[in-house]
Amino acid sequence: MIHVEDKKFVVPGEILAEDDYYPGRGTFKEGDMICSSLMGLVSLRNNKISVIPLKSKYIPKKGDVVIGEIEDIRFSMWGVNINSPYSGILPASEVFGREKKELSRVFKIGDVLFLRVVDVDEVKKVKLGLKGRGMGKFKNGILVDITPTKVPRLIGKKGSMINMIKDKTRCKIVVGQNGLVWVKGDVDMEQITKNVINLIEAEAHTSGLTNRIRDKLFLLIDGELPKDREESHESKFGENNSKNHLNNDPDFDNSFEANEEELEKPKLENFKGIF
């Protein structure tokens, strides 16, 4: 028996369902009842109930890509702030291999890096690495901070949202799973992008967001809505767009697809165009 609907707002302790259902993330089992352990929105997948928190801190997971800031230089490693309760370390060997060099000549305190989480051990010591495409230090640009649970929404289905913003603003955008977003482009476009990202964060739970953001972008940049508006509202918009640009940044698209499912239930009408 189920007591809640999909996307309903719940508070900790609220009974979500009894029997027949499986407890997912953000829930716990009390006897036969599944209760919420967080404040957030219910997510129903088949028979699995989970709760997506409204706000969260980033919990490091092996294989994630994150944006971090150097905050400490030690004897053979850098201390990295990854916007999480657990701070990360970047061992010197990741950068130099076996050579020995002065650490502060490569990365200084305050530098912002794009990193991969290599390993998280049982005491949550987060080991970071720079191996992979596009990893390394950022130059210029701005940082935008959003709550990590909204990252999948910012990416969109198969990158539909993020690619749309990239196309329209001509900014380079890099999204870390820890909720930090790096944007580089024209100064005005950077600010527009930042505002749009903040808007997505605030309205992540609402439906039809991609189209609204698209209209907003057109209004902000061109000052008017596109003439082919009717056509663009066709449901396959997301798919078309993402296919063309899917290969731009394999780093993000691949890694985020898995997470995407957690937040956004695939809308049935989106597949009509294909079948």
Partner 1 sequence: MNIIPEITRQSITNLINNNERADGRAVDEYRDIVIETNLVSKAEGSARVKLGNTQIIVGAKPQIGEPFPDTPNVGVLMTNSEMLPIADPKFEPGPPSESSVELARVVDRCVRESEMVDLEKLCIEEGKKVWMIFIDLHIIDYDGNLFDAAMFAVMAALMNTKLPIAEYKNDEIIIDEDATMDLPLKDKATMSTFVKIGDKMILDPSLDEESILDARLSIGITESGNICAMQKGGDGPLSKEDILSAVKTTYSKKDELLKYLK
Please report, as residue ranges, which positions from 119 to 178 form the binding site for partner 1 (by CB under 8 A): 138-143
Of 154-162, 186-194, 227-235, 257-265, which part binds partner 1 (CB under 8 A)? 186-194
To the nearest 10°, report the CA torsion of 235, 150, 264, 258.
110
Please report, as residue ranges, which positions from 64 to 103 form the binding site for partner 1 (by CB under 8 A): 69, 71, 81
- CB nearer partner 1, residue 44 or residue 80: 80
- Return d(Cα 47, Cα 264) in angstroms, integer: 16
Q: How many residues bind partner 1 (CB under 8 A)?
A: 19
Minimum CB distance to partner 1, residue 21 (Å) = 36
Minimum CB distance to partner 1, residue 184 (Å) = 9
Please report, as residue ranges, which positions from 100 to 119 form the binding site for partner 1 (by CB under 8 A): 108-112
| Token code pair at residue 45 | 């997948």
- CA nearest 158: which of 36, 77, 227, 252? 252
Q: Could you give phi then psi for residue 189, rounded to 5 degrees?
A: -65, -35
- Return d(Cα 246, Cα 166) in angstroms, integer: 12
Minimum CB distance to partner 1, residue 70 (Å) = 9
Instruction: Please report, in angstroms and rounded to a whole number, the separation of the first and last CA atoms in the chain.
Output: 34
Minimum CB distance to partner 1, residue 142 (Å) = 4
| Token code pair at residue 173 | 């955008």
Interface ranges with partner 1 (CB under 8 A): 69, 71, 81, 108-112, 138-143, 182, 187, 190-191, 194
